[in-house]
Amino acid sequence: MTNATTAIVERYGSDRTRLMDMLWDVQRDHGYLPQDALEDLASALSISANDVLETASFYHFFQTKPFGRHAIYLCDSVMGRNRGHASIRATLETETGTAFGSASALFGLDDTNCIGLSDQEPAMMVDDVVFTKLTPNRVRDIIKALKLGTPAEQIANPGGHARSSRSYVESMVDCNIHQDGPVFFKPGIDYRAVLESCLALTPDEVIVSVTESNIRGRGGAGFPTGLKWRLARDAAGAEKHIICNADEGEPGTFKDRVLLTASPMDVLLGMVISGFGVGSRSGIIYLRAEYWYLKDYLEAQLASMRADGLLGQNILGTDFSFDIRIQMGAGAYVCGDETALIESCEGKRGTPRVKPPFPIQTGYLGQPTVVNNVETFASVTRILEMGAGWFAALGTDASSGTRLLSVSGDCDRPGIYEIEWGTTLNDVLALVGATNPKAVQISGPSGECVSVAQDGARKLCHSDLACNGSFMIFDHSRDLLEVARQFTHFFVDESCGICTPCRAGGVAMLGKIDRVIAGRACQEDLDACQSWGQLMHRTSRCGLGTTAAKPILTTLQKFPELYAAKLQELGHGLRPSFDMEEAVSHYDEIVRAIETEAAQ
C-alpha cells in the first residue's frame, strides 16, 4: 500500500463510514480514483475492492478513469439551456479540444445537473470553483488561462481573497437577495445571547417553543419540525445526531447556498439549538459537492464558534457539548432524500432506505437522527430569538413563517425573495418583474408546472401551492414540452435504480415524451403516461420515484393543448410510432447481403 493511501485512511481513523471523505482525498491526490488506490483502500478497510467501487461509482463527481488536470462540469439545466448553454458547450469543446464525456491530458469535460446557480446561468464548475454568467468570450479567456497554468481558483478569485472569507465566495457567485423579510438575513443578531437564553431553558421547553411556532420543515415535505424533534428526543438511543441537509439538488433552488453565504451563523446556531433540544452531541452538515467553494468559509465559521464557546465541549460553560462536521457529497440528487443522505454520510451509495424505520428511530449509524433543511435551522435561530408566537403570527394558519423563494427564468430580477406564506403566484410574478409569464415550475421538477392564466390567484402555502423554494418562470416563447422532457430526463439520470417503478418507469415515460415531441404519439400514449405515472407515484420506494412522472403529468394537466397539437390518429390500424420504412430496412439489407454472398 502507498504511504499516501495509508495516511488518508488513518486521517479518518480507518473508519469505513468515512469512505466518502477518503475517496475525495484520493481523487484530490490523483485527479481520479486509480484502481490500485481503490484496492489499497479496500484492503485497509477490510472490504472488497468492489465494495469500494460500489460507493465510488454511484456519485457523478467520482471519476474512475483519468479525467484531465482540470475537471470541468458544465451545468446542463433547463435554466442554463434558456440562457445560452449550447454555445458555451460548443465553445468549451472547441477551446479544450475535448469532447463532453471524455478527457484529454489537461481537461475532463462532462455535463452535470443543476448546480444551484439558476439565477446566474450559464454556469460551470472547474475543479473546486465555479464560473457564472458565462459567455463564449469568457470561456475562451478561462480556458486560455488554464492552458497557461493559472489555477482555476486564481482565475475565479482574481482578488486573491482567502478561501475562508465571504469575499472569496462572492468573487464567484452573487447572492442576489432582492427582498428580505422578517426572518432571514437580519444583521446584528446577538448569537451568544440567543444561545444563552436557549440554554437557560430545559430541552423540553426548547422543543415546545419550536412546536408552538408551528414551523414545518422547509425541505419540501412540510413535516412539523417540533414533532420531529420530539420524536427523536423520545426515541431510545445512547447517541443521537442532528443533520443539516445542504444537498440542495432540486433544480431551480439556490436559497440554501445564499443562506450559507449570507447568514451561516443562523443555520449553524439552529443546529446547536436542535442538538440541545433533542439531546445530541453530534451534528453533520451534508454539503453538496457543487458547493465546494463554501466549505472553507463554513469551516471558518465553525472554528470561530468553537473559539467563542458556542460550539464544542461545554458550550457557554454548561455541561452541554455539541460539535459539527461537514460531510461533502459527490454529485447525487437522490441524496437529498434524508435516508439516502444518511447512507451517504455512512460512506455508502445513496440508496434511500426502506421505511419504516424512520431516521428519528434508526438514522445515522443506526441511531435516532433529525434531518432538517438549511432554511429550517436558520428559522429556528430566529424563533428562539424572537419567540414562537412572533413566528406563528407570520404566514397562514397552516403554514407559519416566511419562505425563501429561489426565483429564476424569464423575469427582470432573478434571485432570492423572502415572502410570507399566503402570497399569491401573481404577486410574486409582479414582484420579480415577470412581464410575459406563461407557466411557473413550482418546487422544481418534483413539484408541479402551473399555468399563470389558470393559477395566478393561488396562494403559496402548505395547503395550496406547497413550494420548496424553487420558482422557475417560463414566458410564452418557451417550449414546455421540451422542458417536461428535460425534467423527465433529469429524473432518469438521477434515479438510484434500486426500485422497479422508478428505474423502468422513468425510461418508459421518457420514451413517451420523446414520441410526443417527434409527432409520432397517439391518444393511447397519453393514456399510458397517466397510468404509468400513477404506477410510479404510488409504488416507488422514495420521493424521487414518486414524483418523477410529475413533469409530464402536470404539464399534461395544465397544458393539454400542447400535447393534443402533437398527436396523430391511428392510420391503417398502425400506431404512428411504428415506422414501416425503418422496420423493413434491415430486411432489405439482409437480403442484399445474402445475394452478394451468393454471387461471390
Partner 1 sequence: MSVSLTIDGKAVTAEAGAPLIDVAADNGVYIPSLCYMRGKPCLGTCRVCSVKINGHVATACTVKVADGMHVSVSDPEVADMRKALVEANFSEGNHNCPSCEKSGRCELQAVGYELEIVVSRFTYQFPERSREDAAQYLFLERDRCIFCQRCVEFVRDAQTGQKIFSIRGRGTTAQIELDVDLANKMTPAEAARAADLCPVGAIIEKGLGYNDPMGQRKFDVKSLRERVLEGEQL
Q: Which residues bind partner 1 (CB under 8 A)?
A: 46-51, 53-54, 57-58, 332, 349, 354-356, 492-501, 503-508, 511, 528, 531-532, 535, 538-541
The CA dihedral of 237, 243, 249, 255, to the nearest 10 degrees, is 140
Residues 306, 531: Cα–Cα separation, whole Å: 54
d(CA 262, CA 378): 11
- Cα separation, 534 vs 543, in Å, equals 13
Return the number of the residue (58 or 471) whose C-beta is nearest partner 1. 58
* Nearest residue (CB) to partner 1, 215 versus 345: 345
Query: How far apart are CB 349 and partner 1 at their closest, in Å?
Result: 7
Minimum separation from the CB atom of position 331 to partner 1 (A) = 10
128, burial (CB in 10 Å: exposed 0-12, middle 13-18, buried 19+):
middle
| Nearer Cβ to partner 1 (431/528) | 528
Q: Which is nearer to partner 1, 279 or 497 (CB)?
A: 497
- Nearest approach, Cβ of 557 to partner 1 (angstroms)? 20
In the chain, count H helices and then E strands.
27, 15
Closest CB 320 distance from partner 1, rounded Å = 36
Give the orientation angle of helix 203-212 with respect to helix 264-278, to 10 degrees. Answer: 120
Burial of 85 (0-12, 13-18, 19+ CB in 10 A): buried
C-beta of 340 vs 472, nearer to partner 1:
340
Residue 294 Cβ vs partner 1, minimum distance, rounded to whole Å:
25
Distance separating alpha carbons of residues 509 and 417, to the nearest angstrom: 34
C-alpha cell at position 102: 471524455
Contact 359, 338 (CB under 8 A): yes
- Nearer to partner 1 by C-beta: 24 or 532? 532
Shortest Å, Cβ 354 to partner 1 = 4
Reference 56, options 334, 290, 287, 349; nearest CA is: 349
- Please answer whether residues 422 and 395 qualify as being in contact, where contact means their C-beta atoms are separated by less than 8 angstroms: yes
Helices of type H across 121-212 = 136-147, 152-156, 166-170, 191-199, 203-212
Which lies closer to partner 1 via its Cβ, residue 48 or residue 523?
A: 48
Q: How far is the CB of 356 from partner 1 (least distance, A)?
A: 8
User: Of the two residues 21 and 525, which places its CB atom closer to partner 1 in the complex?
Assistant: 525
**What is d(CA 366, CA 349) in angstroms, rounded to the nearest whole number?**
16
List the beta strands (DSSP E) in 56-114.
70-75, 102-103, 107-112
**Residue with grid cell 432582492, as numbered in its chain:** 178
- In the complex, the smallest distance separating the C-beta of residue 58 from partner 1, rounded to whole angstroms, is 5
175 within 8 A of 311, measured Cβ to Cβ:
no
Shortest distance (Å) from residue 200 CB to partner 1: 41
Alpha helices in 308-369 (DSSP H): 338-345
Q: Which is nearer to partner 1, 316 or 528 (CB)?
A: 528
For partner 1, give the closer residue by CB, 397 or 524: 524
| The three cell numbers locating residue 122 | 450559464
Alpha helices in 288-443 (DSSP H): 295-307, 338-345, 374-386, 388-392, 425-432
- Nearest residue (CB) to partner 1, 176 versus 539: 539
Say how many CA atoms lie within 13 Å of 243 toward its Cβ: 33
Give the number of other CB atoms < 10 A from CB of residue 202: 11
Residues 6+ apart with CB under 8 A from 240: 232, 233, 278, 279, 280, 281, 282, 367, 368, 369, 370
CB of 494 vs partner 1, minimal distance in Å:
7
Least CB distance from residue 60 to partner 1, whole Å? 9
The least CB distance from residue 341 to partner 1, in Å, is 15
| CB nearer to partner 1: pick between 22 and 285 | 22
